[in-house]
Structure formats: structure tokens, C-alpha cells
A and B are shown apart, each in its own frame.
Chain A
Amino acid sequence: MTDSFDDLRDLYQEVILDHGRRPRHARRLESFDATAKGDNPMCGDRIEVWVKYGPDGTIADTGFQARGCAISVASADLMAETVIGRSKADTHALFDAFREMARTGTCPHCDALAEPLERLEPLAGVHEYPSRVKCATLAWHALVAALDGGKEASSE
């Protein structure tokens, strides 16, 4: 760790470096109900997401395989951690809130989602790096495409 990158700590918080290095959910599910790929053609990042639903329709498990930067892998992992146990509707709402946070740094109308958003908050720093926002949202685009029955998503 060096002092000279201190001003990057808002972007590369320890939790991001940790999840980027050692993602917990980076695995293909053996059995799954939905899957989709995400692709950022500008930078070549790719992700594949798998989803397994529980009997009540909530997300029972999700996993991913990604080739991309620390931000995109960490975001995918934090996303998986956050959406397990949630309904499709909740996940959509969470995606909207997260996208707002990634773009602007805050989500003023997101009180109802305060608890899950807190877990994603380490990624809020990307809003200061416009070219990196898409890194953080790619996994979400893929997940939402899977939930909606799609096959491909792009972070464009």
C-alpha cells in the first residue's frame, strides 16, 4: 500500500480489492433457471450470470463468471451477495437504485432500499470516474437480462 494512491481509495476501497481478488460467487451454477451474458464492447469485459429460483420465486442462488477489471468483478460479487433471497421486483428496484448511485454517488429516493444499498456503497466511488461506471453496472445488466428472460445484455 502506498501513499501516492490515497486519493484512489474512494474508488478502490479495501472491500472492492478484496472481492475483486477473491470473489465468493464466481462459479457456474450446476442447475439454474435463468442465465444471461453481459458484454461491454468498448473495453472487452464479459460476464455470464446464472440464477436459481426458490419455490417462492425469490433468487435462491446466483453465480457468475467474469473477465474484467477489479471494479467489475467486485461489483458482480457484491451484487450476488446482495440479491440472494430477494424477489425479482426487489432486484429490479435495487438495480435502478444502484445504477443511480454509480452514476451520481447517491440515491436520494432510495430510503426503502437503504439496507441492501449500504452493502453496495463501496462502489459509489465510481461516479467520479465516468469511464468506469459501466464496469460497475455490467453484472447488473446481465442479471436483470436473465431475470427478464433475455440472453444478452450490454452495459452501453
Chain B
Amino acid sequence: MNVTTRPAMLDVARIREDFPILRQSIRGKPLVFLDSAASAQKPRVVIDAMREAMETQYANVHRGLHWMSERTTDAYESARDAVAALLNARDRHEVVFTRNVTESLNLMAHSYGRGVLQPGQAVVISGMEHHSNIVPWQLLRDARGIELRVAPITDAGELDMEGFEALLADGKVGLVSMTHMSNVLGTYTPAERIVRIAHAYGAKVLFDGAQAVVHRRVDVQALDCDFYAFTGHKLYGPTGIGVLWGRRELLDAMPPFLGGGEMISSVSYERSTWAEVPHKFEAGTPPILEGIGLKAAIDYVQAIGYGAIAAHETSLIDHALARLGAIEGVHILGRAQDRGGVVSFALDRAHAHDVATLLDRQGIAVRAGHHCAEPLMRRFDLESTARASFAIYTTQGEIDCLADTLMRVREFFT
């Protein structure tokens, strides 16, 4: 697909036509959907791809010797090619399908954590992780005596690079598992620098790219990272399918995660042998339709082009920071230099849940709460914030609508 010649301009009005749901009204008002970081809406091509697969060719994959199964296997496996191209992976076998990022990270904590890391080694995360990149490592720590270290972040919401490097200094760290973009602060972590430093101390690097891959082109070879996880449903694809990319030789050295059909080479009561990667990590009937939907989503995003997407979102972020930042009593969480399409904020004298309810009444959907990042909220002495997050279909007018309504919300609680 030729995606390089498009100008860095997005025709948002046309893109919005691709998303049937955006035509809806909520409580008599046009839907202003500013919660895409939780889960993005789906373009028609994704909906159609999944429906068509069910209507014309659906069967189980990798096992049937009939036409339907072969067609479906081809469609499902072409999703793996699409992901490999999206991430610029060297080898399509490096793409493991999971249910979501949470499962990708649990796969890592289980297979890499128990099969490769040794007791006495350590895993480093950052102070701005989603719970899904905290809890699996706590479980590993408690089960295997593998230390969990947390790299500090600055008041601006950026990774404290000196603090990060200090955690690696004793050479015990086997793995750095870190967000590539914070779901609360919007901060992009400096991935290349993180990898360079970690590798210098002998640690491998896994990125949680749940947010990052939506907003920016990710090239795992250029990043030189070792593992990368993302999920379909935030990238305009369906729920129920996620990705773990890993270097082939590292995946080969890891024991399986879940056992069952699909992941074996042969089974006897005495012993079983495992399929080659990626199937070694894909026990059971996979998310077939979701894979087909994910491929349609990736094709859709690639056709628009990350250049245009990134430019659009930068303009949205700038606009949002300017508009929300100008409202007295609004406090934006995080002031990272390099940031993506989410803005978390607190409003004086109004709790985030009250803010969200009032916004909802005007048809504006935002997330409110701790965003599955309680330790991060405590770091900033907050228990919850409201969060507006942006997508390719978000308009400047929607951000204006949010800002105008927030001013009225402020009056309401004053």
C-alpha cells in the first residue's frame, strides 16, 4: 500500500463519515466522543469485514481441510502480516496474537518472567503505568522473588532519566517494561533512549504501546526494543484481539503461556512438544473474526497515514491545552514536552465524576476516575481526574464544545 505520498492533512469531515456511530445524538445533542483512549469507535470497513467474514466464509482456522477453513485461515493470517508491516517487524512469526495488552503483559510476566528471568533479578516499570503493567509483575515478584523497581517521574510527568538509569546500575535488571505513552498524562516516553540505556546494562525492553500505536508510527527495528504490546480496540479495531511482538530468538527461548490446542506440535500422555512461534503462544481457537477486523483497521489507518494522523492530533492537543488551560480553575495533569492525544484535568471544587455527569448531559463523553493508574494519581495527590482523549475523527469544534461546557460546569459548582 502506498501511504507515503499523502500530505499531512486530514479531511476530518470525510473521516467522520466512515464512522457510523458518530451520526448519533445523545440526549438530543450531537455525540461528542472524547473517550477514544478507553476504546476507539469503529469505521465501516472494520464492521463490514467482520460481518462479511461471518456471512461468507466463516470456519475455524489452522485445522480444517475444507475451502471455508482455508479461506478463513488466509484472512486471519493476513492480519499477522498487517501487524508485522505496521510495526516493521523483521519476521511475521514474531507477531503473537493475544486478547489485549493485559494478556500480552501477563504472557510476558508468565513466560519471560518465569522461564527466562531468574530469582534475584529485577523488572523495572515506571511511575506512570497502567495497572496492567504493574500487577502482573507484582504477581511474578511474589511467586518468584523477582524484584519490582519503579522508575520515578518528574512533576511535569516525564520519566526521570537519571532515576531510571540508577535503577539499572547494579546490573540485576533483566527486563524494563514501560509504557510508550501514558494513558493519563499523554506523555511519550523516550523509547530509543530507554532502549539504549537498558541494553547498556544488559536488560531487555518491553513497551506497552496501547496508546502510542494509535497516534504515531511505531517501528520496532528503529526503536531497537525487544518486545512491543498493543491492542486492537484502541486502534479502531475490535475488542478481543491484542498483539505481543517479540524478537524471534527471545520468543523461541520462552516457555508456552497457556496450554491446549493450536499451541502443540505433538501430544502424548508422557510429554508434549510445542508448536513453533507464534503458535506456541496461541492456545485454543484464536480470535478469528477479531483478527480479520484488526486487519481492516490497520489497513484503514495505514491508508490515512501516520503522518497525517500525528499532525492532526498535534493540532488537537495544542488546541485543547490552550483552550482548557485558559479556563480558571482547570488544572491539566502533566506538562510533558512530547505528548499524545489525551488530556487529563481536574476542576477546582468539582469532583471528576460530577464533571463527567454534567458533560454527559451535554452529549460529551469523557472518562473520569483513576484511569487504572492509582499509583500515578497518588503521585500527583489526586484520587481522580477527568480525561478527554482524541482520535482521527475528533474535531477542534468538539474541543471547543468541551471547553465551553466546562466553563458552565465550573459555574454550576461555584
Q: Which residues of A approach B to under 8 Å, CB–CB?
A: 1-2, 4-5, 7-8, 11-12, 17, 21, 42-46, 67-71, 129, 132, 135
The 7 closest A-B pairs by CB, nearest first: A69-B351, A69-B353, A44-B370, A44-B383, A69-B354, A70-B354, A2-B408
Contacts of B351 in A (CB 8 A): 68-70
Instruction: Check A43–B353 contact: CB distance below 8 A.
Output: yes
Give 14 A-B contacts (CB < 8 Å), ordered by A residue. A1-B411, A1-B412, A8-B357, A8-B358, A8-B361, A12-B354, A12-B412, A21-B413, A43-B384, A45-B383, A69-B353, A71-B353, A129-B357, A132-B357
Contacts of B352 in A (CB 8 A): 69
Contacts of A68 in B (CB 8 A): 351, 353
Give B401 Cβ to nearest chain A Cβ, in Å: 12
Contacts of B383 in A (CB 8 A): 44-46, 67
Say which residue of A2, A21, A46, A135 sits within 8 Å of B349 (CB atoms).
A21
Q: Mark B333-366, 1 if CB is under 8 A from A, else 0.
A: 0000000000000000111111001100110000
A135 vs B369: C-alpha distance when bound (angstroms): 13
Residue of A nearest to B362 (CB): A4
> Given contacts A11-B357, A44-B384, A70-B413, are A4 and B369 in contact (CB under 8 A)?
no
Contacts of B350 in A (CB 8 A): 70
Q: Is B32 an interface residue (CB 8 A)?
A: no
Instruction: Check A2–B411 contact: CB distance below 8 A.
Output: yes
Which residue, of B362, B374, B384, has the highest number of chain A Cβ atoms within 10 A? B384
Contacts of B384 in A (CB 8 A): 43-44
Q: Which residues of B approach A to under 8 Å, CB–CB?
A: 349-354, 357-358, 361-362, 368-370, 374, 377, 383-384, 408-409, 411-413
A45 vs B383: C-alpha distance when bound (angstroms): 8
> Given contacts A2-B408, A4-B362, A5-B358, are A135 and B413 in contact (CB under 8 A)?
no
Give A126 Cβ to nearest chain B Cβ, in Å: 10
Which residue, of A11, A44, A70, has the highest number of chain B Cβ atoms within 10 A? A44
Give A133 Cβ to nearest chain B Cβ, in Å: 12
Contacts of B370 in A (CB 8 A): 43-44
Interface of B is mostly: helix
Contacts of A2 in B (CB 8 A): 408, 411-412
Instruction: Check A4–B413 contact: CB distance below 8 A.
Output: no
A42 vs B369: C-alpha distance when bound (angstroms): 8
Contacts of A135 in B (CB 8 A): 353
Say which residue of B357, B377, B408 sits within 8 Å of A4 (CB atoms).
B408
Say which residue of A21, A44, A129, A132 sits within 8 Å of B369 (CB atoms).
A44
Instruction: Check A71–B354 contact: CB distance below 8 A.
Output: yes
Contacts of A42 in B (CB 8 A): 369
Contacts of A44 in B (CB 8 A): 369-370, 374, 377, 383-384
Instruction: Check A17–B369 contact: CB distance below 8 A.
Output: no
Given contacts A1-B412, A43-B370, A70-B350, 18 further A-B contacts (CB under 8 A): A2-B412, A4-B408, A5-B361, A8-B357, A12-B412, A43-B353, A43-B369, A44-B370, A44-B384, A45-B383, A46-B383, A68-B353, A69-B352, A70-B351, A70-B354, A71-B353, A129-B357, A132-B353
A53 vs B353: C-alpha distance when bound (angstroms): 34
Instruction: Check B357–A17 contact: CB distance below 8 A.
Output: no
Contacts of A69 in B (CB 8 A): 351-354
A70 vs B347: C-alpha distance when bound (angstroms): 13
A71 vs B370: C-alpha distance when bound (angstroms): 18
Contacts of B357 in A (CB 8 A): 8, 11, 129, 132
Contacts of A7 in B (CB 8 A): 361
A136 vs B354: C-alpha distance when bound (angstroms): 12
Say which residue of B349, B374, B377, B408 sits within 8 Å of A5 (CB atoms).
B408
Give B391 Cβ to nearest chain A Cβ, in Å: 23
Contacts of A17 in B (CB 8 A): 413
Give A113 Cβ to nearest chain B Cβ, in Å: 28
Say which residue of A5, A45, A46, A67 sits within 8 Å of B412 (CB atoms).
A5
Contacts of A132 in B (CB 8 A): 353, 357
A8 vs B358: C-alpha distance when bound (angstroms): 7
Give B409 Cβ to nearest chain A Cβ, in Å: 8
Residue of B nearest to A6 (CB): B361
Contacts of B354 in A (CB 8 A): 12, 69-71
